[in-house]
Amino acid sequence: MMQPLTMRSWLATLVTALLAVAIWPDPGQSLPQGAPETVCDTMLPFHSGGSVLPQNSVSPFSVETSSSTLGQGQTLRVDLTGVPAGLSFGGYMIQARNRNPPHQIIGQFGPARDGTIKLMNCENSVNNSATHSNAGNKQQVILEWQSPVDFLGEVVFNATIAQSYNEFWVGVPSQPVQIVRRDLSAAPPLPTLSPSAPAGTTRAPYVPPSYVAPNNVVAVSTDPIYNGCGQSKNCFGFPDGCVATKSCTSITVVTVRGDVFEFEIQSGKGTNAAYVAVGLSDDAKMGDDLTTECVPENGRVNLYSSLTSASPYSAVRSNVNQNSARLLDASIVDGVIYCRVQRDAVTNVQGRTFDLRNGKYHLLVASGSSLKENSVGYHDIGRLPSAQPINLAEVQDLSGSSKLLIQLHGAFMIAAWIGTTSLGIIFARYFKQTWVGSQSCGKDQWFAWHRLLMVTTWSLTVAAYVLIWVELKRAVWHAHSIIGLITVILCFIQPIGALFRPGPNDKKRPYFNWGHWLGGNLAHILGIVTIFFSVKLPKAELPEWMDWILVSFVVVHVLVHLIFSIGLCLNHWQIGGMASERHLSQRANTFQMGDMSHHQQHAMRNGMSMERKMDAPYAGMRKGLLGVYGVVLFLFVAVLILLVVLAPIEQFLGKS
């Protein structure tokens, strides 16, 4: 319910009117230095020549906060904006009041870096109200407010906003903000002018006439950074499509007014971001991009500009004139990093020109949880470039670029070098004396499976290499690409060499066997090493713990080889023993062979031939181990491919 006006409030209003002390003293112009402290209680503007009543209609302006819950001593962002976006106003005055009686003024406002906010000391407290410092038209005002350290409860921001001489709204409310017990891990509070100044007062003030009673307050509004997206400003964030749902992990907003290019950059809540950044890229690929970085340091958000490099990945600040961008506003509230930056229309960096007026650029949004010395760390929280380059002044709906070719490249290489190659080598090395007498397509089983798996490896590798060239359209040299190229060359040569394989009894056959064995195993080892190096690639966006999955695969693969090798040694020992016994038996019975008939000798030779056509010992164990290894190998390949296709997996897990 609205509080009735006290006699004291009526007297204050009357005195204010008679003295003609007002927020906007002359028609069409707001008071240049903002509202005087004599109107702290009423927040009512009066104009020279008589009193002008406030508007009774719904205010076209809104007061929005960056959070609905705040710890004691923490700060949040408060926005004054028009609805719809772009509606301008001249003067304003704002306070935060206890939602419950006696409705005292609560907390403190922080100063603006550009001096566009004038702080007021109402009710003998420091900086607990704010007003404009210039009378120019403005479409948005962003303030920082600090809650008191000794207050628990709800506060509501009330503002007086004037659009023109006779059009102003008094007591425009925000949604309530709940002040809770202080989180000791929160960001440091804003400095105060006087450490001994109280955060509020218990004196009952005048409650503005349009103050919204608790039962009439509607649900908490969405983050104001999304207001006007696709209508008056370009908005882009990740994961792709998050702007429509207003749920971005990181977002950038670009507003263009003539030659003024403003970027708003914000991280998501609960991401534990150490920085948030936006890059301007010619090709949507990391490297040679002009980036704008917002980095919390020592309790404040600092602005840096960098030029990125792809190989190795880095963001170098020393190459860019740091005065090419200016920090207009910044805050960190509940771990959410926010900054508003104005960039020069033209920036020259190492012979490159970034012309925001005439050029078209991909927006590249990134955030990470770590920092390097004089640089930002890897964007492990996420990164996404826009699908198309745009002129920043052209407002449109943006979507993220497709990662399909990169995902297919990674999936094909994992299937080839973790899956089919590993299994193909096992068949060739340990199964020549298994399934003896059984054939497929006129070839022994081991050879038929070995050839099928290796042809699959060759096909997947060639296809993956073509896909990555189509995606990159240029050579990028680093450990992954160099070792990968060697692997592809060896893979390509192997089947060609097999076409010229000498006959079984050819004296050159041993040289071929050793060369084929060496080429295949070397390609397999290098292929796995190449996959290890892919984990660190920015474009792959793979989690660092994927290394442990690859290590686990290597351990399992080596262990299986060891077991098969022990079984092979046992086979040779047992077969050697049987051959020795047969040799002694033949020597002892030579005279008997001489006495045998031709029919008896032929039957004995057939028996020996049948023995050679039987599986080597422990065939059942080999087949069982092969089945177990096949299942485990399939699980490794499936998990690794899912990490590639769903990258960054952290975003996918967060959405689910």
Domain boundaries defined on the chain: 37-182, 224-401, 404-575+612-651
Asked whether this chain's domains 37-182 and 224-401 adopt the same fold, the reply is yes
Hey, what are 543's tokens? Answer: 């989690």
Model pLDDT for residues 191-205, shown as the tens digit of each residue: 433 333 333 333 333
**CATH number for the domain whose boundaries are 404-575+612-651:** 1.20.120
pLDDT at 654 over 70: no
Annotate 98-154 with three-state secondary structure.
ECCCCCCEECEECCCCCCCEEEECCCCCCCCEEEECCCCCECEEEEEEECCCCCCEE
Please tell me which residue, 207 or 426, carries the higher pLDDT value.
426
Q: Strand 177-180 vs strand 69-71: parallel, antiparallel, or unpaired?
A: parallel
- Rounded CA separation 222/286 (Å): 32
- Is the pLDDT confidence value at 2 over 50? no
Given a cut of 80, is residue 26 above it in pLDDT? Answer: no
Residue 343 pLDDT level (bands cut at 50, 70, 90): very high
pLDDT of 575 reads 59
**Average of pLDDT values for 201-224?**
44
pLDDT at 302 over 50: yes
| pLDDT at position 603 | 46
Whether residue 116 has pLDDT greater than 90: no
The answer on pLDDT for 398 being more than 70 is yes
For residue 509, pLDDT over 90 is answered with no
* % of the chain residues with pLDDT over 70: 79
Query: What is the average pLDDT across 332-352?
Result: 91
What tokens does 489 get? 């060359």
Whole-number pLDDT of residue 32? 52
Tell whether the model's pLDDT for residue 573 goes beyond 50: yes
Torsion of CA 82, 88, 91, 94, to 10 degrees: 20
DSSP 317-332: STTS-GGGEEEEEEEE
Domain 37-182 in this protein, CATH class: mainly beta
Tokens at 583, concatenated: 């040799």
546-588 helix and 509-534 helix, angle to the nearest 10 degrees = 160
Mean pLDDT of the 81-110 span: 86
CA nearest 252: which of 240, 236, 268?
236
Residue 111, pLDDT > 50, answer: yes
Question: In the structure encoding, which two tokens stand for residue 626, read together?
Answer: 């092969």
pLDDT of residue 189: 44
Higher pLDDT, 413 or 497: 413
Which pLDDT score, from 0 to 100, does residue 561 have?
93
Least confident of 104-108, 109-113, 145-149, 175-179: 109-113
Q: Model confidence at 443, in pLDDT bands (50, 70, 90)?
A: confident
| Amino acid at residue number 114 | D
Count H helices, E strands: the chain?
12, 28
pLDDT over threshold 70, residue 316: yes
Q: Could you tell me which CATH class the domain 224-401 is placed in? A: mainly beta
Confidence at residue 212, expressed as pLDDT on a 0 to 100 scale: 40
pLDDT, averaged across the chain: 80
pLDDT of 269 over the 70 cut: yes
**Is the pLDDT at 558 greater than 60, yes or no?**
yes
Say if residue 100's pLDDT is above 70: yes
